């Protein structure tokens, strides 16, 4: 089950965290993986790790907010069967404390960047006669989270784009879903805690972990496993849905 042999997968943000875990898991399932990442060294490292383990991977350095660069890379890839939109940035702030520059930066990466990739993949999938898209949203698209105004805006947009695209391209045999992680243990989380709470790392990590009713953060491998299912042929009857992977955060955190 969940074999991706002869499938070509494009993964944005595939150089670290959730994106890297998805790239590595999909490669283990025999997909050809195309890693798109702003950090060229990180992308190269993921590609090297996959190929050294017998997989097939390619890496590309790209700012996904630049539509022309996205277009050029997608054209160079040519054939693709699956797109995973994982690239994104976070931001801490309220509507009052977030300035225009910060808001625009989050929008350009998380919203416009996702749109750019969707815009370029649709013609490829229509030529194929099929395709699968998975967008990484967030629980912030479902519930209010303090000090995450711009980030929540962007992930709400990702959720809405998912539903719209799924409906628009049903007749083209293109499936589109999204996943909404809660707090996942990634290098980003470690860096965020160290930067904002020096000397209180252990305390803050515990606080963030227990904010999920299940009592811990999720792992990147758990998110990758859900992504694998939704992108596989076994999920062929699933489209136009968002799947929280949140340790009970949305429904049980009362």
Given its phi and psi angles, is residue 56 left (phi above 0), alpha (psi -120 to 50 degrees) or beta? beta
Residue 151 designated active-site: yes
Choose, from 151, 197, 229, 243, the residue flagged as catalytic.
151
Number of helices followed by number of strands (H, E) in the chain: 10, 7
CA dist., res. 179 & res. 162, Å (int): 10
Dihedral of alpha carbons 121, 122, 128, 130, sign = positive
Please name the residue that has the structure tokens 């955060």.
249
- The residues pairing with 190 across neighbouring beta strands, listed in sequence order, are none
Q: Check: CB of residue 53 under 8 Å from CB of residue 98.
A: no
Annotate 99-131 with b (16+ C-beta within 10 A) or e (fewer).
eeeebeebbbbbbbbbbbbbebbbebbeeeeeb
Q: What are residue 45's phi and psi, to 5 degrees?
A: -65, -45
Contact of 183 with 223, CB cutoff 8 Å: no
Cα Rg, the chain, nearest whole Å = 18
User: Which residues carry out catalysis?
Assistant: 151
């Amino acid at each position: 089950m969940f074999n991706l042999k002869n499938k070509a997968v494009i993964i944005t943000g595939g150089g670290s965290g959730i994106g890297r875990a998805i790239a590595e898991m999909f490669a283990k399932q025999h997909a050809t993986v195309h890693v798109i990442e702003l950090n060229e060294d990180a992308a190269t490292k993921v590609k090297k790790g996959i190929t050294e383990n017998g997989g097939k991977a390619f890496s590309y350095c790209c700012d996904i907010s630049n539509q022309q660069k996205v277009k050029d890379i997608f054209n160079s890839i040519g054939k693709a069967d699956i797109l995973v939109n994982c690239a994104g940035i976070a931001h801490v702030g309220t509507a009052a404390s977030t300035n225009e520059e910060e808001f625009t930066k989050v929008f350009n990466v998380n919203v416009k960047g996702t749109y750019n990739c969707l815009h370029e993949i649709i013609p490829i999938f229509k030529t194929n006669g099929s395709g699968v898209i998975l967008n990484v949203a967030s629980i912030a698209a479902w519930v209010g989270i303090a000090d995450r105004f711009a980030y929540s805006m962007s992930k709400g947009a990702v959720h809405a784009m998912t539903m719209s695209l799924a409906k628009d391209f049903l007749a083209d045999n293109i499936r589109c879903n999204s996943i909404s992680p809660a707090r996942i243990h990634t290098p980003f989380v470690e860096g965020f805690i160290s930067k904002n709470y020096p000397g209180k790392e252990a305390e803050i990590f515990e606080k963030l972990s227990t904010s999920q009713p299940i009592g811990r953060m999720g792992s990147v491998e758990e998110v990758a496993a859900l992504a694998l299912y939704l992108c596989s042929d076994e999920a062929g009857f699933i489209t136009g849905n968002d799947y929280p992977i949140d340790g009970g955060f949305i429904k049980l955190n009362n």
